[in-house]
Amino acid sequence: MPKTPMKSSKSAQRRTMAPKGAKSGGMEARTKEDLYREARKAGIEGRSQMSKSQLISALRRNR
């Protein structure tokens, strides 16, 4: 019986990859809640109204 190669679906591969534009271990890979906690520690004002991408930008500016 001939062997058939296993097909790997692209969607299965995407689930294991970091989000587009994210570096492994970068801020993009962290949760919004985690970023919020870091922003609170850094004293960033207006953090409760910020989106995840806004929190990332504010934290990077604060460094």
Q: Taking a C-beta distance cutoff of 8 angstroms, is the pair 39, 30 a contact?
A: no
- The pairs formed by 39-48 with CB atoms below 8 angstroms and a separation of 24 or more are none
Query: Rounded to two decimals, what is the model's pTM?
Result: 0.62
Q: pLDDT, tens digit, for every residue of 1-37?
A: 666 565 555 545 444 555 555 456 799 999 999 999 9
Distance CA 47, CA 36 (A): 7
Q: How confident is the model at residue 50 (pLDDT cuts 50, 70, 90)?
A: very high
24: three-class secondary structure by DSSP: coil
